[in-house]
């Protein structure tokens, strides 16, 4: 949680353990900072999550395009965990990561 809290707000340490500098870059009319901590938590951080999702979407698009170009086909499928108002998130998360396959069918 500390990494998440520090993401984009705290200066990162260099290889030598010393705090590096924050730099502002401008590329193609877009400004961005470097030298800040990055949590890389794709599930909880809105900034890192957006970056990770964009990168994965691009990877999937390239993979699906290559598959289709070679004569294959692809479908988008989303799996969800059945839940209700009274279910605890921690318990549902634990069960969804420890079970494989579809053990809770309707
Ligand atoms: Zn982050």
Render the burial of 36-73: b for 16+ CB within 10 Å, e for the rest. Answer: bbebebeeebeebeeeeeeeeeeeeeeeeeeeeeeeee
Task: Classify residue 88: in a domain, yes or no.
Answer: no
From the CA of 7, how far away is ligand 1's center (Å)?
A: 5
Whole-model pTM over 0.85 = no
Task: Classify residue 73: in a domain, yes or no.
Answer: yes
From the CA of 57, how far away is ligand 1's center (Å)?
A: 18
Task: Classify residue 67: in a domain, yes or no.
Answer: yes
Same-domain status, 35 and 47: no
Same-domain status, 64 and 47: yes
Same-domain status, 47 and 72: yes
pLDDT digits (tens, 9 = 90+) for 63-88: 999 999 999 999 989 988 888 888 88
Task: Classify residue 56: in a domain, yes or no.
Answer: yes
Same-domain status, 31 and 47: no
pLDDT digits (tens, 9 = 90+) for 4-36: 999 999 999 877 878 778 999 999 999 999 999
From the CA of 19, how far away is ligand 1's center (Å)?
A: 18
Q: Which domain holds residue 57?
A: 42-81
Same-domain status, 47 and 69: yes
Same-domain status, 47 and 34: no
Residue-level pLDDT at 102? 47
């Amino acid at each position: 949680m500390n990494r998440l809290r520090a993401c984009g707000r705290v200066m990162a340490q260099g290889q030598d353990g010393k705090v590096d500098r924050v730099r502002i870059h401008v590329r193609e009319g877009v400004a961005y900072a470097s030298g800040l901590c990055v949590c890389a938590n794709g599930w909880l951080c809105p900034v890192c999550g957006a970056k990770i999702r964009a990168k994965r979407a691009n990877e999937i698009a390239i993979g699906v395009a290559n598959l289709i170009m070679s004569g294959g086909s692809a479908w988008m499928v989303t799996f969800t965990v059945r839940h209700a108002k009274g279910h605890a998130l921690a318990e549902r998360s634990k069960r969804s990561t420890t079970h494989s396959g579809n053990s809770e069918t309707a």
